[in-house]
Amino acid sequence: MASVARAWSQTVADIVAGLGVDLGAGLSESAARQRLRQDGPNRLPDQPAPSLLAQVLEQARQPLVLLLLAAAAVSFAAGEGIDAAVIAAIVVLNTAIGVTQQRRAEGALAALQALAGPVSVALRDGQWQAVPAETLVRGDVIRLEAGDRVPADCRLVSVVGFRVDEAPLTGESEPVDKLTDVLPDNELPLADRDNLAFMGTTAVAGRARGIVIATGMDTEVGRIAGLLRETTKAPTPLERQLGQLGRSLGLLALILVAGVFAAGLLRGLSLVPMFLLSVSLAVAVVPEGLPTIVIMVLALGVQRMAKRNAIIRRLPAVETLGAASVVCSDKTGTLTQNAMAVRTASAAGAVHTVQGDGYEPLGEVLTPPDQAGVYRRVLAVLAAGGVLASDAELRREGGQTLAIGDPTEAALLAFASRAGADIGELRRRWERVHEVPFTSERKLMSTICTMGGSVRSFTKGAPDLVMDRCTAWLGPTGERESFSASARAVMAANQRDFAGQGLRVLAVAYRDWQNEDWRREDIEQGLTLAGLIAMADPPRPEVPSAVAEAQRAGIRVVMITGDHRDTALAIADQVGILRGDGQTVSERVLSGPELEGLSREELIARAGELAIYARVSPEHKLRIVDALQSQGDIVAMTGDGVNDAPALKRSDIGVAMGITGTDVAKGAADMVLADDNFATIVAAVREGRTIFANIRKAVFYLLSCNAGELAAVLGAILAGLGSPLSALQILWLNLVTDGPPALGLGLEPPEPNVMLQPPRPIGARVLDARTTVAVVWQGLAIGGIALALFAWALAAGRDEVTARTMAFLSVSLTQLIQAMNARSLDQSLFVLGLGRNRTLLVAIALSALLTLAIVALPPLRAVFGTVPLSSPDWVRVVAASLLIFPLVEAVKAARRRRPA
């Protein structure tokens, strides 16, 4: 259904009537569902997924697959029809497995993108609700605030200082001030439609309400959505590393295969069998299934992260997480529960205890009895200021009271109820006519309210900033008095005491105006202080252990907060951030004003010792990231606001808050925390380290097995024994038998010491020097066992087919045991436990059954050139294959005993 025509030139009443919506109640859920079925989801079409045929052709274009097809053609031309058919069947099977895994990975990543999808606040059935943006329909009444990405084209019906960055759509470099007036020009250019907000643009200031007039492809940005389909994805660093590894192995394969081919011909072996054997060895050298396995490991690992509430938006973040050396975390809602409750208040020169937890309408404010009447009057003003300078709501659902909006503002409403105020009555009597929105730079929020002929502004915010703007206060008499130095000292002392208890402190002030003779620039000047409100936001119970785990892993935890220094110190002490390194507290804390006074070089010099940054603005985060990165740290930075976006992009791992975070912050981040919880960051680091380690294990396993096959064949040919493996047997081992265990290794649980190791250097190679050495010697061991068994069988009078069968079974079984060895280069299998990775056990069992089938089933014996073995020969094969286990365990034990 088309969008509303020329909505900018219609009145709000016309829009409401045309869309059949009640501006005060919004759409009903049933009407919204019906419109969604009619109009379709509110989203732009994704880049079309490749078709099944395209994915099959992509697999078939791989160089090794083409090489195998050439080998099949040569076999067929040479009259080896069975060999040609088997090679072709293996190619088909490998292609089917690759396509299936690729489609599964794409499906997993698509599901994660849906999890990370934006959420909008819409009015449905008379209540504001958080709904997925893609479910918005024409006629929905939505609420927009600074930091939101506009989810659909809207006609604005109310605005408060609302400004929108429309550069992505119109190219305008400056944000646009929005209004609600009718614009009569029917042919108005897009950039001049100031009473509309467009999908894909970003709110940068203020707040607004609007009616959705177009969704999905009917929006203005939908008209140019075709351009998005032309984008291509750059390879990740991990993909580039694997590509380089593949090219290096490909070159090695050409050299070795040419050598084997030449050696075979010199030994008098036939041309066609040697060609097929050389092709098979080329396949053995290059683990062509590795890219698919890596994609699967990444996708499944990212799914596991999502289940732990860490939604990865960019795959490179997975490998970067394993290298994080510093985590810079917000305090409120990340280290703490973000479930505020007012504990105490300072009013009329006295401290008052507030009873009651959460947002339930229970509890009261306990005042000293000597001047209870005075205190009640001042507390009423303090409570009213908190209510009228708040946008939150308390809603009763399912027998409990829920907060809608900012938790701090919701706590002010609960405090007002406990102080005896009627929130609904206050908001009915006082009409809000203007607002100066809160920003993280100003740390203040003000409203202008009228009641009859009275006009009063209310301001709440950081105590020191509010008190700087006060010329009077409600003193011990309950009357307005001059805010003298002594009065300020009393309130400042209360503030320090509250902050020292780990409480978050807000100041509330007001100003009365004559009629409506007020100016915006004067609203936050000449104020009268009503009092201080101190609320608790206790640490999340799981955070202390998460901080300790991060520190054991060599990761420094740094708190960055806009709160007061003393509040930050109290929380940091409770969660263990200040745990002992011998430094004094003053050496580990830096305030925003102090940071302003440091040069870049001075900040870099101190960054390594600082654990807390208090009273900072979002702009300071950029300087902090720069200082830490200049020291060589890999920085994970959390953020939720519009102005956090530059720091999130600049950091190595930007982490946005999923609950309180703005769309802009989420768009700039690499990872979104669905629960805003610091412990989730640490869990994600653990998962990131595990994913990288598992990819390394899969690479190690495949290469050591392939090296074993190469060593056995090359050694036998050079010794004049012929080949211990046929071409088809090598292909079967590499394209069928090795794949399932490699994927099982990719799903290995974290090793016990994964969070006891220092952060991995960024850019560390998947195949480092230590792993390469292990690949070489263990590959030689695998090949040596098979070669020794093959040579013994020939010397003992076994025919060549029987000897080759024994060698084939030895290589296969040794590789399956090697899959268990590959679970760790250091840890013993007895420590890791046999049953922790059930997927690997199933994969090994599957590969073993497939291998046994080649020997047990007569049709397969005829194809792969195997024969039944006698019981003594089976015992010899199994005994020889088991040798790899004690050999590797002995080397691991020796490495563990080696001094660090």
Per-residue model confidence as pLDDT tens digits over 153-185? 999 998 887 888 776 666 565 678 888 889 887
- Side chain identity at 446, as an amino acid letter? S
Q: Tell me: pLDDT of 238 over 80.
A: no
Say what percent of the chain tops pLDDT 70: 81
Higher-confidence residue of 19 and 291: namely 19
Q: Kindly write down the DSSP assignment for every residue of 304-333, as one continuous string.
A: HHHHTTEEESSTHHHHHHTT--EEEE-STT
User: Which of the residue ranges 242-246, 537-541, 791-795, 857-861 would you say has the lowest mean pLDDT?
Assistant: 242-246
Listed residue (619, 629, 556, 627) closest to 592, CA to CA: 619
Mean pLDDT of 259-288: 67
The question of whether 640 is a catalytic residue gets the answer: no
Q: Which two tokens stand for residue 512?
A: 């009365």
Band (pLDDT 50/70/90 cuts) for residue 456 is very high
Q: Which two tokens stand for residue 539?
A: 């640490």
736's CB contacts (< 8 A; 6+ apart) are: 90, 93, 94, 847, 850
Average pLDDT of the chain, as a whole number: 82
Band (pLDDT 50/70/90 cuts) for residue 432 is confident
Q: Which two tokens stand for residue 210?
A: 């609007």
Mean pLDDT of 235-262: 66
Catalytic residue among 330, 537, 644, 738: 330
Listed residue (838, 837, 826) closest to 896, CA to CA: 826
Mean pLDDT of 204-217: 87
- Side chain identity at 590, as an amino acid letter? L
Give how far Cα 725 sits from Cα of 716, 734, 737, 822, 866, Å: 10, 12, 14, 24, 10
Higher-confidence residue of 345 and 831: namely 345
- Residue count of the chain: 900
What per-residue confidence (pLDDT) applies to 779? 92
User: How many other CB atoms are there within 10 angstroms of residue 554's CB atom?
Assistant: 13
What per-residue confidence (pLDDT) applies to 69? 63
3-state secondary structure of 336: strand
As a whole number of angstroms, the distance between CA 617 and CA 622 comes to 10
Q: Kindly write down the DSSP assignment for every residue of 544-613, as one continuous string.
A: HHHHHHHHHTT-EEEEE-SS-HHHHHHHHHHHTTT--SS--HHHHEEEHHHHHTS-HHHHHHHHTT--EE
As a whole number of angstroms, the distance between CA 209 and CA 160 comes to 9
As a whole number of angstroms, the distance between CA 163 and CA 179 comes to 9
| N- to C-terminal Cα separation, the chain | 70
Q: Tell me: pLDDT of 2 over 80.
A: no
| Burial of 366: CB neighbours in 10 Å, binned 0-12, 13-18, 19+ | middle
Mean pLDDT of 101-124: 62
